Amino acid sequence: MFDAFAAWLREQDRSAVTIRGYLSDLARFAAWFRLTHGQDLAPGEITPADVREYRGWLQAVQKASAATVRRRLMALRAYCRWAVQAGYLAADPTAAVKAPRETELSPRWLTKQEQWRLVREAERGMNAADTPTRRYQAVRDWALLVMLLHTGLRVSEAAALEVGDVQMGERSGWLLVRGGKGSKNRKVPLNAEARQALTAWLGVRGEQGGALFGLSARRMQGVMAALGRRAGVAVHPHTLRHTLAKNLVDAGVGLHEVAALLGHSSLNTTRVYVTPGERDLEQAVKRLEG
């Protein structure tokens, strides 16, 4: 799969150990790319949004150290430089993406204030929409944000949703998530806020069949990143997934229920999502203050 890239590395006089390490790290990126986009990695398909999302996924989901993230981005950067020289890419998508410093904390979930700022920014976008097209996009983006924040769907699952997968009544609702991780279907309940957002979106979109949002996983990542930039909050779909898990645990929901909602087959995976962070430990110590 990476024979031409390996040959290029040898031409650059890289050591055998370095080449093996790059190929191993690149295989991990290819696995992430396939899971995220539902297609095999092709050098001409990598975008800066992919690189930023992968960096965030390593930090948020894998809880990788800054050194590990830097190493994997270094391998990806070398691959993209080869792709530019080989004519697959016009520009290096890793050029503007910085590797984390050792002192940076891994982003895991959003605070209540950050969640509020994101939702408020999406609502401001709806209020400011002055054409039917802008209104359509603003309602879509708000509904997507609220749905992800209150269901914790993987971005690939959200992109695969169809209108027929939404089941809503007056006081309850569900999403039928088809072929999630491990090709397992599951039903995810919709709370009042998620139902309100999806109802508003279907009112604008129309309830004819087809894709619910009409966005690829990559476009959804871009929508969330753009909202985050305007709100001053670093966000990607995996952050929202972690945020839901943390909100549920803080509300007293048990790990078994959280695991079922997120589609985890192992509680160990769920525990990673809710491991106490520095803010939690700081608050724990403050309880001793008289």
Q: How far apart are CA 260 and CA 155, in angstroms?
A: 17
Identity of the amino acid at 272: V
First to last CA, the chain: 62
Write phi, then psi, for 211 (nearest 5 degrees): -60, 135
Same domain, residue pair 31 and 117: no
Same domain, residue pair 61 and 146: no
Residue 288 resides in a domain: no
Put residue 129 in one of left, alpha, beta given phi > 0 → left and psi -120 to 50 → alpha. Answer: beta
Same domain, residue pair 34 and 162: no
C-alpha angle 252-255-258 in degrees, rounded to nearest 5: 85
Same domain, residue pair 151 and 261: yes
Same domain, residue pair 165 and 263: yes
Q: What range defines the domain where residue 70 resides?
A: 3-86
Same domain, residue pair 76 and 119: no
The domain spanning residue 274 has which CATH number?
1.10.443.10
Residue 104 resides in a domain: no
C-alpha angle 180-186-190 in degrees, rounded to nearest 5: 110
Same domain, residue pair 11 and 118: no
Q: Which residues are catalytic?
A: 154, 181, 238, 241, 264, 273
Burial zone of 170 (CB within 10 Å; 0-12 exposed, 13-18 middle, 19+ buried): exposed
Question: Crossing angle for the helix pair 267-274 and 255-262, nearest 10 degrees?
Answer: 100
The domain spanning residue 73 has which CATH number?
1.10.150.130
Residue 107 resides in a domain: no
Same domain, residue pair 80 and 179: no
Same domain, residue pair 138 and 230: yes
pLDDT in tens, the chain (290 residues): 688 989 988 887 888 888 888 999 999 999 998 888 888 888 888 988 888 888 888 887 777 878 888 899 999 999 999 999 999 989 999 888 887 765 444 446 888 899 999 999 999 999 998 999 999 999 999 999 999 999 988 888 899 999 999 998 878 898 988 765 545 678 888 999 999 999 999 999 988 889 999 998 889 988 998 999 899 888 877 788 888 888 888 888 777 777 777 777 666 666 665 665 545 545 544 554 54
Residue 163 resides in a domain: yes
Same domain, residue pair 117 and 223: yes
Q: What is the DSSP string of 27-68?
A: HHHHHHHHHHHSS---GGG--HHHHHHHHHHHHHTS---HHH
Q: Which among 86, 121, 142 is the end of a domain? A: 86
Q: Which among 28, 52, 86 is the end of a domain? A: 86
Residue 91 resides in a domain: no
Same domain, residue pair 81 and 118: no
Helix ranges, the chain (H): 3-11, 16-37, 48-60, 66-86, 112-128, 132-151, 155-160, 192-205, 217-231, 237-250, 255-262, 267-274, 278-286
Lookup result for tokens 């993987």: 154
Lookup result for tokens 């930023």: 52
Identity of the amino acid at 21: G
pLDDT recorded at residue 162:
94
Residue 92 resides in a domain: no
The number of domains in the chain is 2
Tally of CB atoms within 10 A around 37 = 19
Q: Which among 69, 86, 103 is the end of a domain? A: 86
Same domain, residue pair 82 and 208: no
Lookup result for tokens 């950067």: 77
